[in-house]
Amino acid sequence: MSGNSVLLALPLSRLATGESETTTLYRELRKPLLRYLVCLGLSMDEAQDVVQDAFLGLHRHVSGGGSQENIRGWLFRVAHNQARNRQTSYDRRFSAPLDPEIDSLLDEATPERFVLEKEKFRRMAKAIGSLTDCERECLLLRAGGFRYREIGEVLDIPTSTVGDTVDRAIKKLAEKCNV
Amino acid sequence: MCNFSGKLIAWLDHELPENEAADVERHVKGCVECGSSVHEYEEAGNLLDAYCEAVMASKSKRKHVPWTLVAAGAAVTAAVAGLLLAFLPVLRQQRVPIEQLPAHSAAVVPPPAAVVKVRVGPMKKSQQRHDDTPVHDSARASARNPERNSRQSEEANWMATGQNIQIAIPADAVFPPGVVPEGVNFIADLSIAADGSPERLHLRP
């Protein structure tokens, strides 16, 4: 080869690390995503289906040259929309009482703690049930560590609306739970 | 109500601009009412977190039940595969119906938890006649009718030419008592290729 050869900057390192990046993303975001969907009212099976579809969509999105900015927001938005498409079970399950599940969680608690925690959770379940869909979604995303701007991107609403909604929802919870 | 009450949650969430956040912080330090509200909002947020974790853990816990059944199903499949590997060479060499296998043949089977009942397809009448006929009668018959003899030879090879075999495994011998209704069996369908290897293996309830 002559001395005038040109070095080609192939993105091989990116290709090589592509799989591990996806794996890392999956490992980091799977549980928060599942938690969001389950707390929205999906069953674990439904939530896992939605998470799987969301990551499949992410793979297509990235393969198709889509933007890689705010992947977490992108994933939650896709999952959120899919959860919305399962509206029937979403509403039915969220309105279902969670007491039996709470009982099973508190099996190992002392009797005093059991009663206290159960009462707290019961009030919280009731308080969450009294929120609007938007308030509930904003709170759950906030609990997942999202900033107001990111919540707005996921739910497709202005940041100022998110601020007002979170403010209203937290005050409702505090009032109804008597914390 | 205090003028700052509408900014407390945004302040807690670090969503206010720096100068506003500094104002709220100064105010909260001096205002008992706002200090109390901030505490309530923090508690409500923490309780929501705990509640979400509890719901998540509870639903994950309930999810484990089906996996035990899946594991049991996998164990059944493995047991059937082991049985097939153990029985098929014997069947091919001896060419006798499986019911007539000596009892010690089962000793070569890897540790199945199930009692295995093996059933082969119904034997044709001509096949039974062939098996019951003494050798010299058969030879005489073949001398009289070579065409019939040829047909019988083909039928004698039924075991190696795609005859379907079913192996029934009682489910209650594999699963713990009460998990599966009594009398339920798993059926393994397979046939034997010309070279003696199993093919078209299919497991069904």
Q: Rounded mean pLDDT of B46-53?
A: 90
Q: Among residues A38, A91, A121, which one has the least CA distance to residue B57?
A: A38
Reported as a single tens digit per residue, the pLDDT across B55-101 is: 888 877 655 555 566 667 777 788 888 877 777 766 666 555 555 55
Confidence at residue B202, expressed as pLDDT on a 0 to 100 scale: 76
pLDDT > 60? residue A77: yes
Tokens of B6: 């509408």
B47–A104 CB contact, under 8 Å: no
Quick check: is B7 in a domain? no
CB pairs under 8 A between A and B: 83
pLDDT > 80? residue A156: yes
Query: DSSP assignment of B27-80, as one string?
Result: HHHH-HHHHHHHHHHHHHHHHHHHHHHHHHHHHHHHHHHHHHHHHHHHHHHHHH
Quick check: is B185 in a domain? yes
Q: How far apart are CA B80 and CA B190, in angstroms?
A: 11
pLDDT > 80? residue A137: yes
Confidence of residue A15 (pLDDT cuts 50, 70, 90): very low
Confidence at residue B152, expressed as pLDDT on a 0 to 100 scale: 52
| Helix (DSSP H) and strand (DSSP E) numbers for chain A | 9, 0
Contact call for residues B74 and A165 (beta carbons, < 8 A): no
**Domain housing B105:** 79-204
Q: How far apart are CA B164 and CA B181, in angstroms?
A: 27
A142–B13 CB contact, under 8 Å: yes
Contact call for residues B169 and B114 (beta carbons, < 8 A): yes
pLDDT > 90? residue B27: yes
Average pLDDT, rounded, for chain B:
69
Quick check: is B92 in a domain? yes
Q: Which residues of A137-173 are buried (b: 16+ CB within 10 A; e: fewer)?
A: bbbbbbbbebbbebbbbbbeeeeeebbebbbbbbbbb
A170–B45 CB contact, under 8 Å: yes
Q: How far is CA B202 from CA B68, B166, B191, in A?
A: 22, 10, 10
Quick check: is B45 in a domain? no
pLDDT > 90? residue A157: yes
Q: Rounded mean pLDDT of A114-118?
A: 77
Quick check: is B23 in a domain? no
Quick check: is B25 in a domain? no
A35–B51 CB contact, under 8 Å: no
Confidence at residue B138, expressed as pLDDT on a 0 to 100 scale: 45
Of A45-49, A92-96, B144-148, the least confident:
A92-96
Reported as a single tens digit per residue, the pLDDT across B144-197 is: 555 555 555 544 444 444 567 777 777 766 666 666 666 677 777 777 777 777
- Write down the pTM of the prediction: 0.56
Quick check: is B28 in a domain? no
Quick check: is B27 in a domain? no
Q: Give the rounded distance of the alpha carbon of A24 from its chain centre.
A: 17
User: For chain B, what is the domain count?
Assistant: 1
- For residues A159 and B107, the model is more confident at A159
Q: Rounded mean pLDDT of A145-165?
A: 95
Architecture of the domain defined by A19-96: Orthogonal Bundle (1.10)
B59 CB neighbours in chain A (<8 A) are 38, 43-44, 47, 101
Q: What is the CA radius of gyration of chain B?
A: 37
Of A8-17, A27-36, B143-152, the least confident:
A8-17
pLDDT > 70? residue A102: no
Q: Among residues B170, B204, B202, which one has the least CA distance to residue B184?
A: B170
Average pLDDT, rounded, for chain A:
79
Task: Write down the ipTM of this complex.
Answer: 0.77
Taking the Cβ of residue A40 and every Cβ of chain B, the question of whether any pair is shorter than 8 Å is answered with no
Of A119-133, B83-97, B133-147, B187-201, the least confident:
B133-147
Of A1-10, A68-77, A89-98, B144-153, the least confident:
A1-10
Q: How far is CA B15 from CA A71, B26, B31, in A?
A: 21, 16, 21
